[in-house]
Chains A and B, each alone.
Chain A
């Protein structure tokens, strides 16, 4: 498989001697108007990839911070169609690659084929769908492959090696390793098990490895640095914005 845009972007950051940065914000957060300003700010502050959340009413893998933010976005009328439509008009001005993260149902209602076409037009490089494991992914992946959008695999601390290999055979973009056996939300420390799982993933995949869930500070990553190519942060960024600060300022500590 040829290197996808996502992979190239992460490798380029690594070649420059740093981890790629992947901030996450729910679409339309904190308000619909301000959201795109924050995306621009994240872009200008050095985000390599920006993950935009597609709000869903029942986000099973998310903690309270992301859930509350998502529900507020739904209240304000944000939906997948709004995100894609807005993205189409702004994509050329954003340097970072764009990844959408959301639960299956909104994509399913949009129509998988229609989504693939519109997402390609909006310049989306990849998607992450926590409630679509390997078993349920083949139909969606077929549509995404046609337009060169990566379906990014999520790997847990409890994912066995042979399942990683099954994912490796069909995946592109990067690998998202979930740092905790739990839901999203900033934590003070990460389990020791992360190191071993990253090493295992390094052997199973040819793709860059990103670590996400529960990440708050660069110091948390030090023990795992050698096996890590990129880092995803969401809840901590949302909390930062909720305190009235701006997204660009959050990025400073990571650069």
Chain B
């Protein structure tokens, strides 16, 4: 953590003071093996060509950059959606899992291991594993198994083995602990396909590099369709993989404002939230030093968001750094604001967004007055909302009762 004493290789694991490799010694060999695979396999022409073809023909890339005609007229600036919801499996997650599954195949390992909260990453991993002929094991908190039963069924149909986790809070962080333990024991045959830009080095870099395709496409499409770079790129942040994917290409373009939107839960003081940058403090969890929701004694707090994919008490270390360095603006919106944005997009544009992405849209709608007229605003629509209909249905029913 003191960078003056670090070698170049060690420093590469850090973003500013965040990041690192805080794992049991037993995980160092597979992490070293993965770094080596990134250095040799991922840069090879053969790998890159095969991945590019898969992204085009299987995932359906490039995803469109869509200018919302109705909302743009109302808002007085150009609102674009990067349509990651149109990818195979319905979210950005597949960019990462296809890449890691292909890498796993090249590394000669037969098993793909994953953790999942909402089930989206689990489904995307199970999909990639089925396609590549790999065995797939997915850890999922027991509570999430119940809440996301459709995604459990999807994973099982795709041939994955879903392992419910009964320990701790029975949610994503406990599924992550369980997956890490499994990896310790089965590292020789298994690649751990981490689902976000979190965890020990090199995962935050690996997942970012696989998601950076989003921002590269936004750049080309914005220049082509709108005649210039975006003024704002806005994305929701849980672990932060869709956001870093959208941001990374623009980090050196100071004119492009990067806005990460965290989930504030109900927004009441003291409520559980998932706003680790806005409401957290630096600490070590799941292999990296980053911003965490925790007690002053260092115990990790339960997180909450109406969007299951944001429900995690930490955030990718590169986001913690973009925030600390001032390059990124990190805001938060609450559950109600996200639901309102969800409804707005459904009604005005005929698109049902994921509740996660609805947070990003909610920030734009809440800040419409401070965004200059004529701006080009890109919201990364990281996933589609079909998976969230059960949650939305409950909210509508609860509101009817209150009324």
Q: Please report A residues at the B interface, Cβ cutoff 8 Å.
A: 56-61, 63-64, 67-68, 71, 74, 79-81, 103-110, 130-136, 138-139, 153-160, 163, 178, 180-183
Contacts and interface: CB of A to CB of B under 8 A. Distances in A.
Nearest to B27: A133
Nearest to A180: B185
Contacts of B400: none
Which of the listed residues A57, A74, A163, A182 has the most CB atoms from chain B within 10 Å of its own CB?
A57
A74 B22 contact: no
A63 B181 CA distance: 8
Given A58-B286, A106-B297, A181-B184, 15 more contacts: A58-B285, A60-B24, A60-B286, A63-B181, A71-B167, A79-B299, A105-B285, A131-B22, A133-B22, A133-B25, A135-B20, A136-B22, A154-B24, A181-B26, A181-B187
Contact of B29 (A71, A80, A158): A158
Contacts of A158: 26, 29, 187
Interface of B: 1-2, 5-6, 10, 13, 20-26, 28-29, 167-168, 173-174, 177, 180-181, 184-185, 187, 281-287, 289, 292, 294, 296-300
A158 B184 CA distance: 10
B296 A109 contact: yes
Nearest to A160: B29
A164 B292 CA distance: 32
Q: Which of B181, B185, B187 has the most chain A CB atoms closer than 10 A to its own CB?
A: B181
Among B1, B13, B173, B281, chain A packs the most CB atoms within 10 A around the CB of B1
Given A110-B298, A138-B5, A182-B184, A58 B26 contact: no
A156 B188 CA distance: 14
Interface-centre pick from A71, A105, A108 (highest chain B CB count, 10 A): A105
- In the A-B complex, list the 8 residue pairs whose CB atoms are closest, starting with the nearest: A109-B298, A106-B298, A156-B26, A79-B297, A182-B185, A105-B298, A57-B299, A104-B284
Contacts of B10: 135
A135 B297 contact: no
B222 to A, nearest CB: 39
Contacts of A106: 297-299
A156 B187 CA distance: 13
Contacts of B26: 61, 154, 156-159, 178, 181
